[in-house]
Structure 1
C-alpha cells in the first residue's frame, strides 16, 4: 500500500503509517530498528531496494531522506515536505517513508526525522553517497547508534579513508570494511591451520581500492609485519599472500565467486568467496550495533587501543 502526502508534516506522516497498517490488517508494530537513508534522487531506488531486502532479516522502519536544496531565492521561500508512505508488500517486511525536503526544510532534516523514529529502538543512518566529513557530528548521524558510509561511492577512496580515520567515533563503519568479512574469516581459518609465524605479507587488488587498504592495515596491526600493496587488474581484492618459513599461505580470487586456498605442504582447495550484494552487506551491519573495534584498527593500522581496552596494559604494538 502506498500513500502520497504533499506539503505535509511529521505528524501527518505518523497518522498515515497508522492508517496504512490498519488498512492492510497489521496494526501491531514488530520492527526492531529505524534505518535512515540519506541519499539523492539518483541513488534512492537502489538504496531503498537494498534496505527492503535487508528488512527480511531485520524488520525496520526505513526513512529515506532526499534533500532538494534551493537553487534560487524563490526556491528558498518554497519550503515544504513531501512524503510517500509504503506499508505491506511495498515495503519489504517493515515500513518505508520517502521524505523529499525542499528549501529551508532540507537544512533541518533531523527535526523532520526525529518524530518518525521508532520509540525505544536503535537508529542506523546510512549514507550510500556523499557522507559527511564527520558522521557523528552530522545532525542525523548524532541520532544514530550506527553510522554506515561507503568509500566506494566517492571519487578519491583513499583520501576518504584518511578522513574516516581522523573522524572515527564508536558506531562508525563502512561498507568497504564489511566487504572484507569473508576474506578475514578465511584468513583467520588458514592461520589457525598453519600455526606458524608470518614473516611477510602482500595484498593484491585494483588501484585505489579502499577494501584492500583496510585489509592491509588490519594485517599489519594484527600480524606485526609490513604488508606490500600490489596493483592488479582486479576486480576488487584478488589475492592475499602470507609468507612463512615453510612457504606461502595464499588466497587467490582473480575473478568469479570462487577462490583457491593454498597452504604449505597441503593440496590447494577451492572455496566460495563471492562479491556480495549491497543488501547482504547492510544486513550484516545490522546484526551488531556495538562499536566495531576491528574497523577502528584497520582505519588507523594500530592495534594498541584495542589491546589496552582488553588487558588494561600498554601494548607493545
Structure 2
C-alpha cells in the first residue's frame, strides 16, 4: 500500500503510516529497529531496494531522507516536505517512509525524522554514498546507536578511511569492513590449519580499494608483520598471501566468484568467495549493534607499505 503526501508535516506522515497499517492489519510490534537512510535522488532507488531486502531478515521501519536544497537562493529559503508512505508488500516486511526535504527544512532533517522513529527500538543511520566527516556528531547520527558509511562509494576512498579513523566513535562502522568478513574467516581458518609463524603478508587488489587497505591494516595489527599492498586489475581484492616459516599460504580470487586456497604441504582447494550484495552487507551489520572493536583496531592499524 502506497500513500503520497505533498507539502506535508511529520505529524501527517505519522498519521498516514498508522492508517495504512490499520487498513492492512499489520501491527508494528514485530519491528526490531528504525533504519534511517540518508542519500541523494540518484542513489535512492538502489539503496532503498537493498534496505527493503535486508528488512526481510530484520523487520524495520526505513526512513529515507533525500535533501533537495533548490537551485536558486529563493528556492533554498522555502521549506517543503513531500513524502511517500509504503506499508505491506510495497515495503519488504516492514514500513518505508520516503522523505524529500526542500529548502531550509533539509538543513534540519533530524526534526522531521525524530517524530517518525519507532519507540523502544534501536536506530541505525546509513549513508550509502557521501557521509559526514564525523558521523557521530551529525544531527541525524546523534539519533543512532549504529552509524554505517561506505568508503568504497566515495571519490577518494583512502582519504575517507583517514576521516573515519580521525573521528571514529563506538557504533561507527563501514561497509568496506563488512565486505571483508569472508576473507577474514578464511584467513583465520587457514592459519588454524597451518599452525606456523607468519613473517610477512601481501594484499592484492584494484587501486584505492578501501577493503584491501583495511585488510592490510588488520593483518599488520593482528600478526605484527609488515604487509605489502600490490595493485592488480581487480575486481576488488584478488589475492592475499602470508609468508610462514613452513611455506606460503595464499588465497587467490581472480574472478570475484571462486577462490583457490593453498597451504604448505597440502593440495589446493577451491572455495566459494563471491562478492556479496549491498543487501547482504546491510543485513550483516544489522545483526549486531554493539561497538565493533575489531574494526576500530583495523582502522587505526599501521598503514600498509
What TM-score do you get using the length of structure 1 for normalisation? Answer: 0.94
Measured after TM superposition, the shift of residue 27 of structure 1 is 3.3
Preserved contact between residue 205 and residue 234 of structure 2 (Cα < 8 Å): yes
| Residue in 2 that maps onto 1:168 | 168
| Residue in 2 that maps onto 1:71 | 71
For the residue of structure 1 that corresponds to 2:287, the secondary structure is coil
Distance, in Å, in 2 between the alignment partners of 1:118 and 1:21 is 14
| Residue in 1 that maps onto 2:228 | 228
**Unpaired segments of 5 or more residues in structure 2?**
none
- Which structure 2 residues correspond to residues 273-292 of structure 1 after superposition, within 5 A? 273-292=273-292
- Which structure 2 residues correspond to residues 100-249 of structure 1 after superposition, within 5 A? 100-249=100-249
- Which structure 2 residues correspond to residues 251-270 of structure 1 after superposition, within 5 A? 251-270=251-270
Measured after TM superposition, the shift of residue 28 of structure 1 is 4.5
| Residue in 1 that maps onto 2:11 | 11
- Say what the alpha-carbon RMSD is for the aligned residues: 0.9
Distance 1:229 1:143, change over 3 A: same
Preserved contact between residue 65 and residue 100 of structure 2 (Cα < 8 Å): yes
Measured after TM superposition, the shift of residue 29 of structure 1 is 3.0
| Residue in 2 that maps onto 1:52 | 52
Measured after TM superposition, the shift of residue 218 of structure 1 is 0.1
In the alignment, structure 1 residue 90 sits paired with structure 2 residue 90? yes
**Unpaired segments of 5 or more residues in structure 1?**
303-317
For the residue of structure 2 that corresponds to 1:199, the secondary structure is strand
Distance, in Å, in 1 between the alignment partners of 2:256 and 2:124 is 32
Deviations 1:212-240 (A, max 9, x none): 00000000000000000011111100011
Query: What is the count of residue pairs matched by the alignment?
Result: 302
Measured after TM superposition, the shift of residue 78 of structure 1 is 2.4
Instruction: State the 4+ residue runs in structure 1 displaced beyond 6 angstroms.
Output: none
Measured after TM superposition, the shift of residue 80 of structure 1 is 1.1
Distance, in Å, in 2 between the alignment partners of 1:147 and 1:26 is 28
Measured after TM superposition, the shift of residue 26 of structure 1 is 1.6
Preserved contact between residue 40 and residue 67 of structure 2 (Cα < 8 Å): yes
Measured after TM superposition, the shift of residue 256 of structure 1 is 3.5
For the residue of structure 2 that corresponds to 1:16, the secondary structure is helix
Between 1:55-64 and 1:154-163, the stretch displaced more is: 154-163
Distance, in Å, in 1 between the alignment partners of 2:73 and 2:126 is 30
